[in-house]
């Protein structure tokens, strides 16, 4: 290995495949340089083909902390291509060139050239959150787990219109699991999502009720409302007695 101790920025960059490619932590630490297609510009590709989850040395046959497994939910030897965001490609190209990594080297090696320990990248991620988040955000659950980076990536793909079937294929999940687990709103996106549906769901302007009544009257009568009222004499009724209130049988008697 060209480096005996991986610097902190390399360990921190191991979180990028989760944030920008949606890889599981055990898939990211198992990546080799040859598994990454890194063009000079534009999108690249990562080929996930193995997983190295931490299960504890007491649970492995060889006493190692990691256990080599095939991809979750796939047959032995199966692979899963995942698009690599241009920002991720640029960072990975810089790491490979700076440390003169060979095709068979781990893309994110540990301090002694072996598999990167989860305790290391979790510690670095905690420091990164503390450095960039506000105090109330740091104390909140936002991005608290390294695995939340995968959630953020998949949710971002869904919220920006990538079809669920395609996201599920990139993530190595079924569509039902994807929609049940990852169809969420990333913090800071709520205002944008509300703006998207504000126009399509806006109701048309409604005219005031009084204006509509006046318009309808004019459609069926050329006279004004006052002129259209019938006078008692015009329909053969006697005029009301002097002092009587129109509509009452007697000026001294009121209905109860």
Q: How do residues 168-225 score in pLDDT, each as one tens digit?
A: 999 998 999 898 888 776 667 788 878 888 887 777 777 766 655 555 555 555 555 5
Residue 15 lies in a domain: yes
Residue 58 lies in a domain: yes
Q: What is the pLDDT at residue 11?
A: 44
**Contact predicate 37/112, CB 8 Å:** no
Q: How do residues 92-151 score in pLDDT, each as one tens digit?
A: 999 999 989 999 999 988 877 777 888 888 888 899 889 988 999 889 888 888 888 888
Q: How do residues 6-39 score in pLDDT, each as one tens digit?
A: 444 444 455 666 678 889 888 988 899 999 999 9
Sequence-separated (6 or more) residues with CB below 8 Å from residue 242: none
Residue 30 lies in a domain: yes
Q: How do residues 58-76 score in pLDDT, each as one tens digit?
A: 545 555 655 667 677 666 7
Residue 136 lies in a domain: no
> What domain range is 14 assigned to?
8-121
Residue 252 lies in a domain: no
The predicted model scores a pTM of: 0.62
**Contact predicate 212/112, CB 8 Å:** no
Question: 14, 110, 10: which is closest to 64 by C-alpha?
Answer: 110
Residue 159 lies in a domain: no
Residue 174 lies in a domain: no
Indicate the number of domains in the chain.
1
Cα–Cα distances in angstroms (integers) from residue 56 to residues 59, 83, 115, 124, in the given order: 6, 31, 13, 21
Residue 183 lies in a domain: no
**Any idea what the Cα angle at residue 19 is, between residues 161 and 150, rounded to 5°?**
80
Q: What is the pLDDT at residue 7?
A: 43
Q: What is the pLDDT at residue 222?
A: 59
Sequence-separated (6 or more) residues with CB below 8 Å from residue 77: 49, 70
**Contact predicate 109/32, CB 8 Å:** no
pLDDT for 255 beyond 70? no
Helix (H) or strand (E) segment spanning residue 216? helix 209-220
């Amino acid at each position: 290995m060209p480096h005996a101790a991986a610097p902190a920025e390399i360990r921190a960059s191991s979180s990028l495949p989760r944030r920008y490619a949606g890889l599981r932590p055990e898939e990211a630490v198992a990546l080799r340089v040859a598994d990454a297609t890194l063009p000079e510009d534009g999108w690249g590709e990562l080929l996930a083909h193995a997983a190295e989850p931490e299960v504890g040395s007491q649970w492995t046959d060889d006493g190692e902390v990691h256990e080599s497994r095939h991809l979750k939910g796939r047959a032995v030897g199966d692979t899963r291509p995942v698009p690599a965001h241009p920002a991720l490609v640029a960072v990975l190209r810089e790491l490979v060139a700076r440390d003169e990594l060979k095709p068979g080297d781990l893309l994110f090696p540990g301090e002694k050239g072996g598999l990167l320990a989860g305790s290391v990248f979790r510690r670095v991620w905690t420091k990164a959150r503390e450095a960039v988040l506000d105090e109330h955000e740091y104390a909140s659950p936002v991005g608290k787990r390294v695995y939340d980076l995968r959630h953020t990536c998949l949710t971002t793909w869904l919220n920006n219109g990538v079809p669920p079937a395609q996201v599920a294929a990139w993530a190595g999940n079924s569509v039902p699991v994807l929609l049940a687990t990852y169809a969420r709103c990333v913090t800071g996106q709520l205002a944008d999502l509300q703006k998207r549906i504000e126009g399509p769901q806006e109701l048309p302007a409604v005219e005031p009720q009084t204006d509509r009544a006046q318009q309808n009257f004019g459609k069926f009568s050329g006279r004004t409302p006052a002129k259209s009222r019938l006078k008692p004499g015009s329909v053969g009724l006697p005029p009301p007695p002097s002092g009587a209130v129109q509509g009452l049988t007697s000026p001294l008697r009121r209905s109860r």
